[in-house]
Structure 1
Amino acid sequence: MRTFVLAGGCFWCLDAAYRSLRGVTAVVSGYVGGAVPAPSYELVCTGTTGHAEAVAVTFDETVIPEDVILDAFFTMHDPRQLNRQGNDIGTQYRSAMFPADQEQRDLFEAAKARAGEWWDGDLVTTMEPLGEFYPAEEYHQDFFAKNPTQGYCLAVAVPKVNKVRARFSSYVRA
């Protein structure tokens, strides 16, 4: 099992897209990259803590390759948007990767280079030290499954999940 910590906009979207893939065994929404210990959602939303909304994706690399996990990350969000994804604006919505070690950093850099070939324009995705990952409040965990008719989920999460499911159809859960 491997775990990657990735940030690309609202964690609800990343969570929903990753949960749709075979081999993903856990997704935890949380906060990473900031200076305030154990921040709350409300505090992170102020944009003053330095944290990003992120997911810790745990997967079985014998079922789903690392490259698929990382390429899905660059598929489900626009890595050219600085400190935002669509109408979600602020540093907490930045595109960032948080490698746990040099091996992950190398994998993440290779994935970013691959993504640079599909996207027009410069990618703003940062590589940041992992530091402490704080799980978000329980109501944020598996939010899409708990709230499938919520407006944000329908308008923002569903298209991202659909993009990932279409591109990585051989890894979609039955």
Structure 2
Amino acid sequence: MKTFLTTLFTVILFSCQNTAQQANLSKEQQEVINADPVAVPMENGMAKAYFASGCFWCVEAIYDSVNGVDDVISGYAGGHTKNPTYESSNTGKTGHAESVEVIYDPEVVSFETLVDVYFASQDVTQVNGQGNDRGSQYRSILFYQNEAQKKIIDEKKSALGAKMNEKIAAEVYPFQKFWIAEDYHQNYERLHPNDGYIRNVSVPRLKRFQAKMPEVLNKNH
């Protein structure tokens, strides 16, 4: 597990975990991709959005720094198996990717802006991973809950690809279900500032994003 790897960074080049790759899509996984999206109702004025972009420790910290975001939860989404765990997702056989649930105030920050944050905070051309975190469990996915969200995602992805003259690696999935990760993964960057992975990978990634989009940051963060 990541928590046991912090003394091995010089060997693994600051990799979050392993190098398992997504195999050919199974029938079950294809059904996930072709399913109708599930809409998550607002609660106490807050909406929820879901993204996968490499190690969820990194992504949680990025969205937590955005003004209008109330909370960010690490977990798993995009797969065909029930009750995924950290260990099972790292096999690359569950179809799930490390993901985050972003709980936000749509009166302060829009879904469109959250998508901008998504693309500004990663290597958008890397397939099945971010940096040395490689495998289908680290692939990039944007989840949509309705056609309006899908339109926003598709248009931004297409425009970015045209601007960069590159193929954008992120997949676009209908949202189905978010499985909350184990307790020790939650708020990991904030609770473990001296962790080798946090200092050498997560914090630099956060700072790169903050330099790109300072206008969206929570000044009290």
2:112 is aligned to 67
- Give 1:159 shift: 1.7
Q: CA separation in 2, counterparts of 1:54 and 1:22? A: 20
- Give 1:117 shift: 4.7
The answer (yes or no) to whether the contact 2:50–2:100 under 8 Å persists in 1 is: yes
Task: Give, as a single letter, the amino acid of the residue that structure 2 aligns with 1:31.
Answer: Y
Comparing 158-167 and 73-82, the one that deviates more: 158-167
Q: CA separation in 2, counterparts of 1:111 and 1:2? A: 21
Structure 1: unaligned runs, 5 residues or longer: none
Tell me the TM-score normalized by structure 2. Answer: 0.74
Task: Give, as a single letter, the amino acid of the residue that structure 2 aligns with 1:24.
Answer: V
Match of 2:201 among 127, 143, 156: 156
2:179 is aligned to 134
The answer (yes or no) to whether the contact 2:111–2:149 under 8 Å persists in 1 is: no
**Local SS of the residue matching 2:168:** coil
1:16 aligns with 2:79: no
* Aligned 1:28-43 pairs, distance under 5 A: 28-43=73-88
1:46 is aligned to 91
1:93 is aligned to 138
Task: Give, as a single letter, the amino acid of the residue that structure 2 aligns with 1:16.
Answer: A
- Give 1:79 shift: 1.9
1:5 aligns with 2:50: yes
1:60-81 deviation line (CA, Å, top 9, x unaligned): 1221232221111111111211
The answer (yes or no) to whether the contact 1:71–1:115 under 8 Å persists in 2 is: no
**Local SS of the residue matching 1:77:** coil
1:27-86 deviation line (CA, Å, top 9, x unaligned): 111101112101110110111111000111121122123222111111111121111111
CA RMSD of aligned residues (A): 1.5
By relative contact order (CA 8 Å, sep 6+), the higher-ranking structure is 1
Equivalent residue pairs, number? 174
Tell me the TM-score normalized by structure 1. Answer: 0.93
**Local SS of the residue matching 2:193:** coil
- Give 1:88 shift: 0.8
Structure 2: unaligned runs, 5 residues or longer: 1-45
Task: Give, as a single letter, the amino acid of the residue that structure 1 aligns with 2:55.
Answer: C
- Give 1:120 shift: 4.8
Task: Give, as a single letter, the amino acid of the residue that structure 1 aligns with 2:181.
Answer: A
1:25 aligns with 2:70: yes
When residues 33 and 58 of structure 1 are mapped into structure 2, their CA distance, relative to the original with a 3 A threshold, is: same
- Aligned-residue sequence identity (percent) comes to 37
